[in-house]
Structure 1
Amino acid sequence: MTDRRRMNGPSGGTAPPFFASSLTSKTASPTQRTRAPDELRKIFLKTGLTPSASGSAYFELEPSTPTAASKSLASKAPALKLTCTVHGPRPLPRSAPFSPQLLLSTRIKFAPFAARYRRGYIPDAGERDLAAHLDTTLRGVLISERWPKSGVDVIITVLEGEEDDPWNKGHLNENERAGGWGMMSILAGCITVASAAIVDAGIDCIDLVTGGVAAIVRQPTAPLQVYLDPCPSDHEEIFAACMIGYLQTRDEITELWTKGDIKASTDGHGANSMGFEPLVDQAMEAAVAARLVLIEAIKESTGMKVQTSRIGHPKNAAS
């Protein structure tokens, strides 16, 4: 008598399929950067993609161009893809205590397929750290006094994230996975896409905030140098990096995150040209370049909203 509640396997033995590896080596060396030190990757930014949210935006960075000698079917340099939704401002529950300012809640979550290391459904240490940095950045931008006893939720989903070395992450523990160099580029993108979504939601801000990253790296045939918008898989070794959230109009920095040993990287390699202040200045240049893309995206979405409102009210359009 057969069991009807389960699918029985074949009566004979089976052999699993065997696929030849498409990788030349699992410890392949990183691809060499083809961009200039002051050249940023192309940015795609669009707002208003989630109708159910008060504001939304999509951010994408193109992947770095792999070398021609690479025969791998998989890209060694993943792209950066982020989505952001803003819900609110909406009134707090009656049971909540009175708050004279807008209550901000930020969350950053990696999709299960965002990286080779699969993350769980519960936010880990790296995701909570990124959310804390984003919260600090946005609190210096929002005019929270105009929304008393209200709350707003900023939710960012990382669809694809940068990794330090896509092929050699299996031996790292959870803390090392959570604090890689690629996290700084992810946070910079989160700041930019969150700013676009907040503007799309119509929330009052003192200025547009954008994120920028600069790093002191060493190429195989070049000395130490400061590079804008670094991709971890493009460089042989990264000594120090800096990420900032910058307000260009007010010339203010709402968030500053540095990592690495800047002093050790400058000893004997030109301390005047590579230090803390030059690294911050280069990160500001990267943030200013991202701001140009943000402004164009906001202008495009605003023009579409104005055109849609005129179509819905022909009398106003005729006048």
Structure 2
Amino acid sequence: MNVQDRRRLLGPAAAKPMAFSNTTIHTLENKSTSALPKNSECEQELSLHTGFIENCNGSALVESRDAKHQTSLITAVYGPRSIRGSFTSQGTISIQLKNGLLEKYNTNELKEVSSFLMGIFNSVVNLSRYPKSGIDIFVYLTYDKELQNKCLDDESQSKQIFSQISSLIPHCITSITLALVDAGIELVDMAAAGEVCGTVVSFIKNGEEIVGFWKDNGDNEDLSGCLDRCKEQYIRHRDLMISCLMKQKNLNI
């Protein structure tokens, strides 16, 4: 009795298995770049890493250290993801800034900075390309420490520690920009920022357009001078991001 196996599709009786030549696969565990830009104020060491978190669409790590401050930020981007409900002609962005192990900043401060960052990236991301979609961005403050300054007393040190959230904003912008590029999300331009005495200015288009302005104190300082110094920092951060992305592209090739 001839019984035919109908549970699966069988190939021809004379079929031969396919043979492939041996290939070498290069695994890129980490893609990073670092630089030591110098200015008249201080030397800042900035290290950038991308693509090291597997369960998100894009990720970035920014580590910064200078004579006064040391910080580390991790950003994860999820999306674009479809939104249930009514149709929207363009995508939406949500940004959440979270403390690390040390609860250094209170919730209101973090929400205020998150709202400021959302205003920037609503202008930078080409949201018209992502209708009925949401992009969720999480920024984790993994390490943040003010280095001791012997010229200040204990009370001044305490006030300085809790008033330096503005110094984190440029690194948040750099980290989010890199993570969005790593996720393949279309941007109008690469955003970056600079910070001078509590004033943060974010630029695009080679410093010709301002997309964010943050002032953390009431000092009557020279605004034009702050803009020039913030633009110098913007150019350094932007060039470093481009160097990081070009290095990543060359490694992938």
SS at match of 1:151: strand
Closer/same/farther in 2, CA of residues 194 and 40 from structure 1, 3 Å limit = farther
The one-letter code matched in structure 2 to 1:126 is E
Distance in 2 (CA, whole Å) between partners of 1:39 and 1:287 is: 16
Partner of 1:101: 90
User: Are 2:242 and 1:295 aligned?
Assistant: yes
Match of 1:83 among 60, 65, 74: 74
User: Are 2:46 and 1:43 aligned?
Assistant: yes
User: Are 2:215 and 1:262 aligned?
Assistant: no
Shift of 1:161: 1.8
Please list the CA deviations of residues 62-102 of structure 1 after superposition, one character each: whole Å capped at 9, or x if unmatched.
242xxxxxxxxxxxx55110000100011112xx2211111
SS at match of 2:88: coil
Aligned-pair RMSD on alpha carbons? 2.7
Closer/same/farther in 2, CA of residues 211 and 107 from structure 1, 3 Å limit = same
User: Are 2:110 and 1:110 aligned?
Assistant: no
Shift of 1:141: 0.3
Partner of 1:190: 172
Pairs within 5 Å for 1:221-240:
none
Partner of 1:201: 183
Partner of 1:20: none
- Of 183-192 and 156-165, more deviation after overlay is shown by 156-165
Report the TM-score when normalising by structure 2: 0.76
Partner of 2:200: 243
Distance in 2 (CA, whole Å) between partners of 1:292 and 1:242 is: 21
Distance in 2 (CA, whole Å) between partners of 1:249 and 1:260 is: 27
- Structure 2 residue runs without a partner (length 5+): 1-37
Partner of 2:110: 127
Closer/same/farther in 2, CA of residues 202 and 36 from structure 1, 3 Å limit = closer
User: Are 2:239 and 1:252 aligned?
Assistant: no
Equivalenced residue count is 213
Report the TM-score when normalising by structure 1: 0.61
Is the CA contact 1:126–1:179 (under 8 Å) kept in the aligned structure 2?
no
Closer/same/farther in 2, CA of residues 160 and 145 from structure 1, 3 Å limit = same
Shift of 1:177: 9.0
Pairs within 5 Å for 1:206-221:
206-215=188-197
Match of 1:286 among 233, 236, 249: 233
Shift of 1:205: 0.5
- Structure 1 residue runs without a partner (length 5+): 1-34, 65-76, 216-240, 266-274, 308-319
Distance in 1 (CA, whole Å) between partners of 2:160 and 2:129 is: 40
SS at match of 1:260: coil
Distance in 1 (CA, whole Å) between partners of 2:60 and 2:42 is: 24
Between structures 1 and 2, the one with greater strand share: 2
SS at match of 2:86: coil
The one-letter code matched in structure 1 to 2:169 is L
Match of 2:123 among 128, 131, 140: 140
Closer/same/farther in 2, CA of residues 250 and 284 from structure 1, 3 Å limit = closer
